[in-house]
Amino acid sequence: MRKDTYRVPTNDEEALIEPPLEDLPGIVERNSQLLRNVDIRVNGQPFQGLRSQTRDAAIHAAIHSDIGGGDQEFNTDAPIVMTGRPSCRCHRRHRHEHGRRQ
């Protein structure tokens, strides 16, 4: 089993990105291959149908968003990759600087 050691970024504008961005195309392709053959139901609905509905809703929301002026072009056939960060209590310095104590 692989055990990685991570370091929390300590400077402004640093980021911890895992997996590395260069690995993303291969991961997305492998995920797509695995999900093509899934034969499960979610609340009685085939998983593939749920994925398709969710994708359509995300694309519709992006196209009709007024963020960025609404003039973006979208490749609706491209994979959708969700990103974000977990909410955690590891940003004490940031919260303290902004008057929030948790």
- Distance from CA of residue 76 to its chain's centroid? 17
Token pair belonging to 60: 């519709």
CB-facing half-sphere around the CA of 78: CA atoms within 13 A = 8
pTM (two decimals): 0.57
User: DSSP string covering 35-75, please?
Assistant: HHT---EETTEEHHHHHHHHHHHHHHHHHT--GGGG-----
pLDDT in tens, 32-65: 899 888 899 999 999 999 999 998 998 888 877 7
- Mean pLDDT within 60-72: 70
